[in-house]
Amino acid sequence: MTIQPSRLSDPAVRAFVYAVNSHDLEGFMSLLAPGATMCDDGSDRDLAEWTDREIFSSHGHLEVDNESDGGRTVLARYRNDTWGEMRTKWVFTVEDDGRISRFETGQA
C-alpha cells in the first residue's frame, strides 16, 4: 500500500519525494546540505551526475510503500525511463538544519 508523500513522517524526506516526483531539480538541490553525498547499490557516486541521469533526465518517480527510522528509511517502488520499475530502499541522513547530507539507495 502506497504512503502518500504528504503523509511521510520526516519533512526532508517528504520534500525529497515531492521534488523527485515533480521533476523539480532546483527544489531538489535546495534540500541538500553543502557537500552532500550519495551511494547507489553500495558504491559512492557523483551526486550531481547520478541524480541527473537516474532521476531528472529519465523522469524518476518514487512511490513509498513503507517507512521506518522516523521516516528516514523508506521502501519504495522507483521507476524511470531507463530501468523501468524496481523495489528500492532509501536511507537518508538529515542534519539539524533539516537538509539532507547523504542518501543511500539500492534495490531492496
The b/e string for 41-73 (b: 16+ C-beta within 10 A; e otherwise) is eeeebebeeebeebbbeeebbbebeebeeebbb
Domain that holds residue 58: 5-107
Q: How confident is the model at residue 58 (pLDDT cuts 50, 70, 90)?
A: very high
Q: How confident is the model at residue 1 (pLDDT cuts 50, 70, 90)?
A: confident
Number of domains in the chain: 1
pLDDT of residue 68: 97
Residue 9 has pLDDT above 90, yes or no: yes
Residue 106 has pLDDT above 90, yes or no: yes
User: Percentage of the chain with pLDDT > 90?
Assistant: 99
CATH number for 39: 3.10.450.50
